[in-house]
Structure 1
């Protein structure tokens, strides 16, 4: 291969090429195409296998009938309704057909307390047990209920089908040392209460680990996004066993911050059961999540196989041999490399990589000083230039996104066309870096620029490690290869630019892989995030974080050559054309619809109304034009409505007067299947209650009665003092369609999906 000259060094007339920047651009373009192809390929699930595989292996073809029956034959499986009961009956029948497996239906009831809230619940859980030869239990958990009005293919019939096939394959293979219990709980969507019921089952008294399967989408690969940090042996078992590793510690950090508006049964098992375990979930194509669109047509072939083969291998690994000791370094970082290899380590190892990277960087700087005459002042100048380049690479696309969302009033075009956002904002990020190269060329010596890039990557990685953020895992992949190749290239300076571009490949691939997954997770979530502001800048920032590191490498290799300002203008023009296309794209379509929450509200003493709220929190636009809607300060709209036909709130209150310890009030409710009662009152006014749980803590006590009993529910609440206590009581009927809701729904565009509900409310003074 011909060598590419980046700097005219020496006096050899044969050394410089006429247009060295053309070779740099060509090499960079090849690397970009190869990187995108590798990341795209790694995100796709493997090809599904048929029923011809051995009996002890996982087969997507054998699991598919379970998925199809739950979605097409049973349909919505709301906790406590006939649909959920039919699903439980069917699953018990399938599991009873597996030789050697014991099956039981658990009818659980209790009170789950979390923060200032308490759930009084009932749940139907299907359990299957495959006895082992020794002690200990491994739990595989998945909820079989669904949200209202949705077939629930991705959430969570696919995981249930995979788990049933895993149990069949386990039973067909050699007997394991530990007992394996499959827990298919029937009330996750009602507040994680099905999992709370599993905690007390006698089959799980010796539970040593759990694998929870859930979903917020129906395509791609199932991601390992939560794992108990104090049980590093779990991740070690995952790394040793699974054939399709797919894991990301950043997902765990996002859940811990609350930026993802969802929870899973992992929370119950770890916080209330104190069991070590991990959470696996599909997340791509979250547009259909909790909508009627979550059907079989959205399920991607191979998703079942990837999840099933991983769970089967992981269960076999956890259920055989002696249990690893808990002693050891707690895991703070885990991720996969293009779905091929799993990496997991703790804080000490993370700091070890920082120190190792520092040693390598110092060694490379030493080589650059000895061989290329690079000085500290030159590196400092180059570092200043890199910071300006990177800042412009972020500000230009973010500024364009702010213009789209706040000035032009055309936000969220990327919701319907994510690829267009990647092209538009990515081009603007590259243009920003190139403009930086033209405005602030910085140090001309290519070795100094390369050394500054290494110092910058190492410093950012060290700072993120000090902050305890798992995303720091990216930076050893930038610094270690970069330092090695910079040191080698110092022997021949004309190779420094190409060497640094090649050295950036490992770090850039993992950076793009991370941002790819974050965008696939974040963009659908914005449809139900309800922040009330355009989020174009957040999407532009994520795209820029993927593009800027590689663009900086290009800038380092080019320096000020090739008229970067003129090139930046051409690239920026492409980006602006993309932004113009985003401004013209309607944010929603039939595949990626906008979500509206329609609530038929009947509050005692007030006329009935229809409350309309966009789940993305953005203005409703012209969706209610000509309907006489009253727009509230919260952004939701109220429409006049007729009575729902449900009648008065079926609640009775009996005040028993002063007793020992306070005033007693008995609250009774006759709820229909699928209904939920919510009672709110000041916590400091409550001295006790008759429910079998401690009183929650907090300024307000929130009692939720979910999956109501067939007869009457009642509870006795003891109040302090004689002063009146304000109480709010609401009954929610999710999925309930009144005539007003149906009339409005028929008049909405086909790119809008509706979540209907009815609410009856009363405010009292006890």
Structure 2
């Protein structure tokens, strides 16, 4: 399409005007260029963290270079709870806090989770230290977890958070005492189930939720900006603390986060009545919870952004009246580059009502002036869902084609490869072409103002729907809708011969780009290519704001040729992105592979979520269910399996210590479970609910309910319990069993890695363990009580 071809008709009903000047397209081009510039700047603002400050930065400032020295000491290897490396880091943190002038306390507690489907206990060691305030109204509790997954060193998850807390304390100690107490809490056993936070909140000295604000530091990737993605109640009193160093944030983020199967330590605090904010970086999520979360992939720039953000927020809250926090309401908030925009959540519905009234008024005004026709406007509005559906289809089909070309893509935990940028850009180009085709085809029977009005009406409808259903998302559509109504009204008033008429109608694309373009980038980072349909649908609204007023009708042949060439360019960009995202030692394929054994023998098993030729000799293409022998492996329903050599591995042991009759006719059976031939990282006990009933379980004086606590699980193992990091002497359990009949129990011992001699050879450099179901051993034993 040439620049001259964006010239629009004088009115909706009039034929195309012959330009009186060769420069009538300049106003439209100007709006287009400004929109592109704003969109690019918006994307860069959410994707590019600041440069790390050097080690000689002023003492009051956060320096990622100083903090990264702690990351290098912490993330030398995996440090799961119960391991020697875990204890080394615990002692190191205690020494570091003492060196900073604090008096740390190690809380040895039992983390407990009685949630159905997650019944678990873990002995934890939480580290806590407080910087006293001069006149406290409450405390700021800053939290990070110091354990890691069993297969990776956790350089960012959560060594970045731990190091950021240490550097924050150092920076705070360099100045005057804060008004409020500032407590740092390094939680334990977050990875197996948020157990450290659960143990701390079960203690009597957990603190007053009404006088505490929690700042939690997490990571769900190894790069990118710091994102404040979740708040507790009364966030209108919290969000202003981000103003001096604003992270990427949006009140939409929590709406999205609630839909994802993710939890952090902050979840436990929020459910216990605490408020606060949750921070993480989400770039390069392919490295998350894998061996790739290592020092080589640790971004100092991301650490700088996280640390500077949390230091600034801590200082602000430490000077505030914490007790007044509970009086605050809810807010709508978002960042525009370095600026934090916020307003009371109570305004969301009234503003939505204003946008509806404004849209109705300007459409009525345009109809009265005969600038648009009601029938044609209705047709245009009815077709707006077509590009939205097309965008969703592009996202879905794109992922299916990618996994055909790159089967290893299915092994990434969040469905996002190491280098998704070019592929995402290609999908965006294809989507933009689809929107342009839609607008160009409609322009054969609709005027530009009618198409513009249709887009504005849809933005207004989305404003109202989100205000009612997901208030935190309403702002995304509100401001484009309001400016769209204003631009539409102004364009209607301009003379039909004015070259600025369509340009003014397209002006709302500029604020639309400021809001929607960063959201597209953020959604790609948060949801991955597997859910590319979500950011692509948002992109449709942005592109529609531009092309609705500027598109020009074309004959079929030129339309086909130009659209085909543009779409092909998008496909080529996608292809280049997929082609350059192969596997190598720095970007390995992530495979699922476990060693499992029971009385029937040993097997290699794989979930089948990923593929690599190295895996094929170990597991067959045929699949089989495993939940009957290994209840922990409940998902997927079918696993790839293959024979494995039977070698010595940590195996479960069970010994009945006593049995006695209860007053209600039940039996109380005391059992000691443990592991032989090595240490187990977890012991899992399952009961056959078809053979009997567990009424309750008591461990260390704590009681868990019986019955059927594994909802939705297929098969007979309907009750289960997991003990994390069991001691060498084992764990004593007291089971209350209904009736006299035998109860079948299945005990599993989980241990990190594979038994020595089990693998014929180590995986090649371009293969690594996936974040799920990889790199550990399960040995099962069945017994009856």
TM-score by length of 2: 0.85
Given the alignment, which residue of 636, 640, 643 partners 1:640?
A: 643
Alignment deviations for residues 309-360 of structure 1 (CA, whole Å, 9 cap, x no partner): 22122222222342354666742744322342243542x3221221121233
- Residue 270 of structure 2 corresponds to 270
Given the alignment, which residue of 746, 752, 756 partners 1:734?
A: 752
1:499 and 1:172 mapped to 2: Cα distance? Answer: 53
Give the secondary-structure state (helix, strand or coil) at the position aligned to 1:292.
coil
Give the secondary-structure state (helix, strand or coil) at the position aligned to 1:645.
coil
Q: Is the 8 A contact 1:141 1:211 kept in 2?
A: yes
Q: Is the 8 A contact 2:589 2:767 kept in 1?
A: yes
Alignment deviations for residues 177-205 of structure 1 (CA, whole Å, 9 cap, x no partner): 32111111222113211112222556542
Matched, 1:504 2:509: yes
- Residue 522 of structure 2 corresponds to 517
Q: Summarize the Cα distance change of 1:253–1:27 in structure 2 as closer, same or farther, 3 Å threshold.
A: closer
Q: Is the 8 A contact 1:234 1:277 kept in 2?
A: no
- Residue 486 of structure 2 corresponds to 484
Structure 1 residue 503, shift from structure 2 partner: 1.3
Q: Is the 8 A contact 1:231 1:276 kept in 2?
A: yes
2:75 and 2:398 mapped to 1: Cα distance? Answer: 43
Given the alignment, which residue of 598, 603, 619 partners 1:609?
A: 603
Q: Summarize the Cα distance change of 1:697–1:513 in structure 2 as closer, same or farther, 3 Å threshold.
A: farther
Greater displacement, 632-641 / 479-488: 632-641
Greater displacement, 36-45 / 475-484: 36-45
Q: Summarize the Cα distance change of 1:652–1:744 in structure 2 as closer, same or farther, 3 Å threshold.
A: farther
Task: Summarize the alignment of residues 544-583 of structure 1 with structure 2, pairs less than 5 Å apart.
Answer: 544-547=537-540, 549-551=542-544, 553-561=546-554, 563-578=558-573, 580-581=575-576
Task: Summarize the alignment of residues 217-256 of structure 1 with structure 2, pairs less than 5 Å apart.
Answer: 217-228=221-232, 230-240=233-243, 242-256=244-258
Given the alignment, which residue of 363, 371, 374 partners 1:373?
A: 371
- Residue 215 of structure 1 corresponds to 219
Given the alignment, which residue of 686, 693, 699 partners 2:708?
A: 699
Q: Summarize the Cα distance change of 1:674–1:490 in structure 2 as closer, same or farther, 3 Å threshold.
A: farther
Structure 1 residue 211, shift from structure 2 partner: 0.9
Give the secondary-structure state (helix, strand or coil) at the position aligned to 2:151.
coil
Structure 1 residue 678, shift from structure 2 partner: 0.9
Structure 1 residue 601, shift from structure 2 partner: 0.9
Q: Summarize the Cα distance change of 1:593–1:352 in structure 2 as closer, same or farther, 3 Å threshold.
A: farther
Q: Is the 8 A contact 1:114 1:696 kept in 2?
A: no
Q: Summarize the Cα distance change of 1:243–1:565 in structure 2 as closer, same or farther, 3 Å threshold.
A: same
- Residue 357 of structure 1 corresponds to 355
Given the alignment, which residue of 626, 631, 636 partners 2:622?
A: 631
Q: Summarize the Cα distance change of 1:339–1:94 in structure 2 as closer, same or farther, 3 Å threshold.
A: same
2:460 and 2:334 mapped to 1: Cα distance? Answer: 20
Given the alignment, which residue of 738, 763, 778 partners 1:720?
A: 738
Matched, 1:295 2:294: yes
Give the secondary-structure state (helix, strand or coil) at the position aligned to 2:190.
coil
Given the alignment, which residue of 666, 671, 681 partners 1:675?
A: 681
Task: Summarize the alignment of residues 268-667 of structure 1 with structure 2, pairs less than 5 Å apart.
Answer: 268-271=268-271, 273-323=272-322, 325=324, 330-331=329-330, 333-343=332-342, 345-346=344-345, 348-371=346-369, 373-395=371-393, 398-399=396-397, 402=400, 415-441=417-443, 443-468=445-470, 470-492=472-494, 493=496, 494=498, 495-523=500-528, 535=530, 538-540=531-533, 542-547=535-540, 549-551=542-544, 553-561=546-554, 563-578=558-573, 580-581=575-576, 588-604=583-599, 606-614=600-608, 617-618=609-610, 620=611, 622-627=613-618, 629=620, 631-633=622-624, 634=637, 636-646=639-649, 648-654=651-657, 656-661=659-664, 662-667=666-671
1:43 and 1:343 mapped to 2: Cα distance? Answer: 21
Give the secondary-structure state (helix, strand or coil) at the position aligned to 1:209.
strand
Q: Is the 8 A contact 1:141 1:184 kept in 2?
A: yes
Q: Summarize the Cα distance change of 1:703–1:14 in structure 2 as closer, same or farther, 3 Å threshold.
A: closer
Given the alignment, which residue of 652, 666, 686 partners 2:694?
A: 686
Q: Return 5+ residue gaps in structure 1 as ranges.
A: 527-534
Q: Is the 8 A contact 1:163 1:308 kept in 2?
A: yes
Structure 1 residue 305, shift from structure 2 partner: 2.1
2:408 and 2:78 mapped to 1: Cα distance? Answer: 36
Greater displacement, 421-430 / 371-380: 371-380
Structure 1 residue 131, shift from structure 2 partner: 1.4
1:751 and 1:708 mapped to 2: Cα distance? Answer: 31
Q: Summarize the Cα distance change of 1:397–1:325 in structure 2 as closer, same or farther, 3 Å threshold.
A: closer
1:727 and 1:107 mapped to 2: Cα distance? Answer: 30
Alignment deviations for residues 694-735 of structure 1 (CA, whole Å, 9 cap, x no partner): 424762332111122243311111111123333221111133
1:184 and 1:360 mapped to 2: Cα distance? Answer: 52
Q: Is the 8 A contact 1:437 1:565 kept in 2?
A: no
- Residue 532 of structure 1 corresponds to none
Q: Summarize the Cα distance change of 1:382–1:36 in structure 2 as closer, same or farther, 3 Å threshold.
A: same
Structure 1 residue 456, shift from structure 2 partner: 1.3
Q: Is the 8 A contact 1:600 1:644 kept in 2?
A: no
Q: Is the 8 A contact 2:377 2:450 kept in 1?
A: yes
Q: Summarize the Cα distance change of 1:591–1:370 in structure 2 as closer, same or farther, 3 Å threshold.
A: farther
Alignment deviations for residues 536-580 of structure 1 (CA, whole Å, 9 cap, x no partner): xx3255335324531453143214158544321221222343455
Give the secondary-structure state (helix, strand or coil) at the position aligned to 1:278.
strand
Give the secondary-structure state (helix, strand or coil) at the position aligned to 1:652.
strand
CA-atom RMSD in angstroms: 3.3
Q: Summarize the Cα distance change of 1:596–1:88 in structure 2 as closer, same or farther, 3 Å threshold.
A: same
Structure 1 residue 667, shift from structure 2 partner: 1.9
1:705 and 1:414 mapped to 2: Cα distance? Answer: 32
- Residue 113 of structure 1 corresponds to 114
- Residue 778 of structure 2 corresponds to 759
Structure 1 residue 144, shift from structure 2 partner: 0.8
TM-score by length of 1: 0.87
Structure 1 residue 644, shift from structure 2 partner: 3.0
Q: Is the 8 A contact 2:235 2:331 kept in 1?
A: no
Structure 1 residue 87, shift from structure 2 partner: 0.6
Structure 1 residue 757, shift from structure 2 partner: 0.8
Q: Summarize the Cα distance change of 1:647–1:411 in structure 2 as closer, same or farther, 3 Å threshold.
A: closer
Q: Is the 8 A contact 1:603 1:762 kept in 2?
A: yes
